[in-house]
């Protein structure tokens, strides 16, 4: 309780006016928002192109599922290395490399003429895109104080949900006019433009940016320790220590965060993979209505991201980080589990679709808290911590399509996958109660 009270006093007393000054850090938000849109445009557009690719390349449904999973597997495997690179070399260079890589392989998706070559391209695409969100979170840890990181993450993930919502329709429009191969070239070119602007404008330390004045820099660094440590480290904003790998891999707090995010990633990928099929083939919606209901969860989730970002920051000011992160996450995930379970108990198909959409919005209400807590505990190692968390989230996403496919094939049941997802979200809610946002990685637990 004493720690939480101290945090509240720090939040309130950071500036004489207590008001957030305008400044260059808001440009970082514009870059983050556009990055997340482009990320999900490139990631989700293949779902719209899949029927045309299967017909053109002669792929079966099972082969196409392997193509999907190749991306998710590579994305999971390379999250931690890419986050580590961001901590060592800085987000300016690493994000530029990431976006250039994934843009190139998005365009190269237009080239394969066989199943093996397509799997290879999508695997390399996933490997290249890994680390985008951990490195942007790393940038947030340098450019935003604690009181603004929730809102910053909310804006970041609003862009991801908007990108995921508009990608299928935009991809189908491009495919209709120029074919599926050309659509990948168009999507890839957008990322090249982003990378150029990012590298020219961004600096890893706000103190090095000519547009950051003294007032804004003081606001940004309001909760950065300014005392020398016993081992000679200057400050959090100074030289970095060696990566504490032993402390990382033995941190119960970090594993609890990863287990929580595994639950989130597992449920999320249902919306990216099987939801359109469920709406059209199982619930019997038309293609138009199914498409609208498939986009509804992402639109609601985008609004929840903004609300959740504001809410976690507001709760942090009023009650401290424990309530702002852990308890917000618990209630959000628990509500998601209840909504999914309830959707299986009502006969009305519209009601089912709406409850499924609300379930994702409920989980996304805690998404900013998920990423903000990584900055709370990671500090100078935020890239690695978020990399660990996102690795487990995407491993959950890797498993879900196969679990759903097996349940439907083995028992001809679409209800069982919802029971499983609901149980996993409930597990994630319990994990939230074990997360301690005050247990910093650079301090012994």
Whether the pLDDT of residue 5 is over 70: the answer is: no
Q: Which long-range contacts (CB under 8 A, 24 or more apart) does 386-389 make?
A: 386/83, 386/133, 386/134, 386/137, 386/138, 387/79, 387/80, 387/81, 387/82, 387/83, 387/84, 387/131, 387/134, 388/79, 388/80, 388/83, 388/248, 388/254, 388/257, 388/258, 389/254, 389/257, 389/258, 389/261
User: Tell me: the pLDDT tens digits for 306-346?
Assistant: 899 899 989 998 999 999 999 999 999 999 999 999 999 99
User: What is the full DSSP assignment across 333-352?
Assistant: HHHHHHHHHHHTT---HHHH
Residues 6+ apart with CB under 8 A from 443: none
Cα within 13 Å of Cα(108), Cβ side:
17
Residues 67 and 113 in one domain: yes
Residues 175 and 304 in one domain: no
Q: How far apart are CA 41 and CA 171, in angstroms?
A: 9
Residue 397 near residue 269, CB atoms below 8 Å: yes
Residues 283 and 432 in one domain: yes
Cα within 13 Å of Cα(199), Cβ side:
14
Residues 408 and 274 in one domain: yes
Whether the pLDDT of residue 285 is over 50: the answer is: yes
Domain end among 220, 254, 286:
220
Section 59-68 average pLDDT: 78
Q: How far apart are CA 84 and CA 134, in angstroms?
A: 9
Residue 44 counted as domain residue: yes
Residues 137 and 268 in one domain: no
Residues 263 and 165 in one domain: no
Structural domain including 418 reads 245-445
Residues 125 and 260 in one domain: no
Residues 393 and 275 in one domain: yes
Residue carrying the six token digits 């996993």: 424
Residues 292 and 373 in one domain: yes
What is the pLDDT confidence band of residue 228, given thresholds at 50, 70 and 90? Answer: very low
The phi, psi pair for 205, rounded to 5°, reads -115, 125
Residues 287 and 334 in one domain: yes
pLDDT at 20: 57
pLDDT at 2: 38
Residue 134 near residue 390, CB atoms below 8 Å: yes
Cα within 13 Å of Cα(132), Cβ side:
32
User: Tell me: the pLDDT tens digits for 79-138?
Assistant: 888 878 888 888 999 999 999 998 999 899 889 888 999 999 999 988 888 888 888 888
Mean model confidence pLDDT for the chain: 84
What is the pLDDT confidence band of residue 22, given thresholds at 50, 70 and 90? Answer: low
Number of domains in the chain: 2
Residue 293 counted as domain residue: yes
Q: How far apart are CA 334 and CA 330, in angstroms?
A: 6
pLDDT at 81: 83
Residue 379 counted as domain residue: yes
Whether the pLDDT of residue 43 is over 60: the answer is: yes
Domain of residue 394, CATH code: 1.20.1250.20
Section 196-206 average pLDDT: 92
Domain end among 186, 220, 254:
220
Please give the span between the terminal C-alpha atoms of the chain, in angstroms, as a whole number.
17
What is the pLDDT confidence band of residue 8, given thresholds at 50, 70 and 90? Answer: very low
Residues 153 and 250 in one domain: no
Section 262-273 average pLDDT: 91
The DSSP 8-state label assigned to residue 281 in this structure reads I
Residue 132 counted as domain residue: yes
User: Tell me: the pLDDT tens digits for 405-435?
Assistant: 788 878 888 999 999 999 999 999 999 999 9
**pLDDT over 70, % of the chain:** 89
What is the pLDDT confidence band of residue 292, given thresholds at 50, 70 and 90? Answer: confident
Residues 95 and 167 in one domain: yes
């Amino acid at each position: 309780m004493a720690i939480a009270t101290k945090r509240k006093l720090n939040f309130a007393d950071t500036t004489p006016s207590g008001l957030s000054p305008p400044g260059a850090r808001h440009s970082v938000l514009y870059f983050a928002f556009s990055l997340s849109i482009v990320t999900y445009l490139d990631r989700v557009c293949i779902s719209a192109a899949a029927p045309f690719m299967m017909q053109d390349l002669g792929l079966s449904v099972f082969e196409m599922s392997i193509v999907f999973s190749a991306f998710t597997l590579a994305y999971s495997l390379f999250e931690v290395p890419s986050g580590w690179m961001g901590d060592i070399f800085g987000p300016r260079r690493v994000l530029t490399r990431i976006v250039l890589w994934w843009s190139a392989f998005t365009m190269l998706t237009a080239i394969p003429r066989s199943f093996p070559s397509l799997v290879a391209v999508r695997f390399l695409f996933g490997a290249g895109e890994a680390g985008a969100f951990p490195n942007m979170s790393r940038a947030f840890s340098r450019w935003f104080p604690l009181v603004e990181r929730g809102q910053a993450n909310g804006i970041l993930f609003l862009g991801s949900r908007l990108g995921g919502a508009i990608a299928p329709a935009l991809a189908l429009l491009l495919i209709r006019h120029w074919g599926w191969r050309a659509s990948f070239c168009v999507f890839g070119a957008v990322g090249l433009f982003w990378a150029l602007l990012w590298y020219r404008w961004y600096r890893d330390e706000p103190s090095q940016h000519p547009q950051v004045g003294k007032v804004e820099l003081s606001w940004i660094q309001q909760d950065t320790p300014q005392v020398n440590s016993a081992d000679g480290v200057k400050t959090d904003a100074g030289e970095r220590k060696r990566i504490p790998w032993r402390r990382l891999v033995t941190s119960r707090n970090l594993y609890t965060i990863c287990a929580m995010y595994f639950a989130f990633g597992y449920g999320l990928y249902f919306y990216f993979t099987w939801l359109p099929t469920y709406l059209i083939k199982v619930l019997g919606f038309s293609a138009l209505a199914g498409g609208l209901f498939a986009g509804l969860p992402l639109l609601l989730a985008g609004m929840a991201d903004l609300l959740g970002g504001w809410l976690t920051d507001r709760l942090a000011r009023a009650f401290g980080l424990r309530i702002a992160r852990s308890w917000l996450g618990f209630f959000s995930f628990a509500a998601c589990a209840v909504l999914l379970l309830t959707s299986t108990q009502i006969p009305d198909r519209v009601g089912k679709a709406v409850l499924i959409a609300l379930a994702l919005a409920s989980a996304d209400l805690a998404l900013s808290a998920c990423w903000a807590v990584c900055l709370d505990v990671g500090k100078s190692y935020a890239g690695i911590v978020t990399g660990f968390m996102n690795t487990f989230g995407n491993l959950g996403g890797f498993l879900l399509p196969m679990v759903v496919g097996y349940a439907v094939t083995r028992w001809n049941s679409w209800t069982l996958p919802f029971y499983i997802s609901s149980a996993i979200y409930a597990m994630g809610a319990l994990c939230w109660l074990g997360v301690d946002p005050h247990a910093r990685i650079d301090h012994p637990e």
